Structure 1
Amino acid sequence: MPTYIHLVRHAQGWHNLSKENEAIPDPELTALGKEQCAKLAKTFPHHAQVTHLIASPMRRTLYTCLLSFEPVLNNSSGTKETARKVVALPEVQEISPLPCDTGSPVDKLAAEFGDRVDLSLLTPEWNDKSNGSAFAPRMGQLEARAQKARVWLRELGRQFAAAGGNVDAHIVVVTHGGFLHFLTQDWDGMNPAQGTGWLNTEWRSYEFAGDDDEEARLRETRASWRRRRGSEVGLTETEQKELRIAMKGRLEEEWGA
């Protein structure tokens, strides 16, 4: 059975309003952000098919997932196999070491979210973005953890199929604008000044390019591409490389990566 990955950028957080707000540690959603979640909850067409809910352990991504996919969590529109809890995956956290992109300690998250979120994949060091950590904002580390996340998601789909699920796996992943380009290996629309080409609560659907691909590369589904781009042609390989180089330059300039 195929595995489908529905990638979602989080709703508007307080850090999105100004550069000064980037100093807010692990910010919450704004009122507009919560409205964006309510709209996504009403318009996302695959609630009944969702089998797993995965999110970055940042507060804005967890709240986006909980609010936007409440129909899934309440099992009001799905099958008995539908996810009933959000799993926090540290590999899909945002890329920068700024306070707004640095997560909260595990005990604080546990107190805030209780049994609504599975925090079992988090270690005490999950929010460490110092140079020696796996989450440092360096090109090599970012690409490595994006690959690790893709492999993990592919294995999750395989485990679901092996467990006897007679439906396709539909995995929702709520993450961040900057990291989404690394996760998809697609730099189309990326604005180096903003760090992303994704809008708040924008979603796109993907499938794995091949079963034996070591990188577990993702490919946007035709339906997803047509929904948002129509008959437009995507970037060439050369253009993709140029935008990747631009991102690498931004990392080096801002954080010495």
Structure 2
Amino acid sequence: MAPIIHLVRHAQGYHNLSVENQWIRDPDLTDLGKQQCEELNKQFPYHDKITHLVASPIRRTIFTCQFSFPQEVKAGKRIIALQDAQEVSFFPCDIGTDLEPLKKEFGDLVDFQFVTEDWNKKGPDSKYFPEPQKLEARSRTTRLWLRNLVKEAGDDAQVVLVTHGGILHFITEDWSGIELGRGTGWKNTEYRSYQFIDKTGQDPNASLQELPESRRRRQGSEIPLTQTEMAEMRAAYESVLTRDLKECMKKVAQLYAEAWK
């Protein structure tokens, strides 16, 4: 059997409750978010097959992984933090905590070997600056990293990656279902399962394809978008992303100006 990647969006965080809460730095999960993790744990059918746990270094994704896959954690699987899987925006809720405090908070639960000291710096010169070309590039890097991980683990590898609603569309190259007001078509703690399209491992893009069972579970008999419709959805999302980036940078400039009065 070819390796499988289970992609999961994080549980509800406090930033999901209001626009104002998007200014909370690296927020916690809500009580409902913790309940969502418990429900995902009950519903997820592949616990006994999971070989690796991976999460964005943002705190809500680490917590979601910890609380949704406690059997795997108890069995000794450390959560691998993957910085290229962090969320897309420039808002404080999507700016992660510095590395040393993260290490102190999570201890041996998380493997931070792939996280650099500047992982949460998202200025214009950073690879994490939220413009479409950079988001596409680091999503490709994420897929290549995952492909290398399962290649080393063998054909029976099944990986869970807990990440964010925005970057998931870039990772999957699937723009269907996006609600522009929410910035994603993924629900909190929703999971979808994928395999690499090219089984030879030669595809430079390492593109993923959703498994039929996974698509049926969430879409039923709904007709998939055409390539033209998919391109239109992506263009609309990137337009909103660019608008939000400008608004956020303007707000940050205002805050700095007020602080220095």
Fold conserved (TM > 0.5)? yes
Which residue number in structure 2 is paired with residue 208 of structure 1?
A: 196
- 3-state DSSP of counterpart to 1:132: coil
Q: What amino acid is aligned across from residue 143 of structure 2 in structure 1?
A: R
1:172 to 143, 155, 160: 160
Which residue number in structure 1 is paired with residue 27 of structure 2?
A: 27
**Match status 1:88 vs 2:81:** yes
* 2: CA distance, partners of 1:214 / 1:22: 35
Q: CA deviation at 1:221?
A: 0.1
* 2: CA distance, partners of 1:32 / 1:234: 31
1:253 to 217, 227, 243: 243
**Match status 1:127 vs 2:120:** yes
Q: Provide the TM-score with structure 2 as the length reference.
A: 0.92
1:129-208 alignment, distance < 5 Å: 129-161=122-154, 168-208=156-196
- 3-state DSSP of counterpart to 1:71: helix
Identify, as 1 or 2, the structure richer in helix.
2
* 2: CA distance, partners of 1:57 / 1:193: 25
Per-residue CA shift, 1:200-220, capped at 9, x if unaligned?
000000000103211000100
CA RMSD of aligned residues (A): 1.2
Q: Which runs of 4+ in 1 moved over 3 A?
A: none
Q: What amino acid is aligned across from residue 22 of structure 2 in structure 1?
A: E
- 3-state DSSP of counterpart to 1:245: helix
- 3-state DSSP of counterpart to 2:80: strand
Which residue number in structure 1 is paired with residue 67 of structure 2?
A: 67
* 1: CA distance, partners of 2:176 / 2:238: 15
Q: CA deviation at 1:231?
A: 2.4
Q: CA deviation at 1:252?
A: 2.0
Aligned residues between the structures? 245
Which residue number in structure 2 is paired with residue 79 of structure 1?
A: none
* 2: CA distance, partners of 1:6 / 1:130: 30
Per-residue CA shift, 1:107-160, capped at 9, x if unaligned?
010110000001111111100111110000000100000000000000100011
- 3-state DSSP of counterpart to 1:135: coil
Q: What amino acid is aligned across from residue 204 of structure 1 in structure 2?
A: R
Which residue number in structure 2 is paired with residue 234 of structure 1?
A: 224
- 3-state DSSP of counterpart to 2:184: coil
Which residue number in structure 2 is paired with residue 78 of structure 1?
A: none
Q: CA deviation at 1:192?
A: 1.6
1:29-44 alignment, distance < 5 Å: 29-44=29-44
* 2: CA distance, partners of 1:227 / 1:194: 22
* 2: CA distance, partners of 1:226 / 1:195: 23
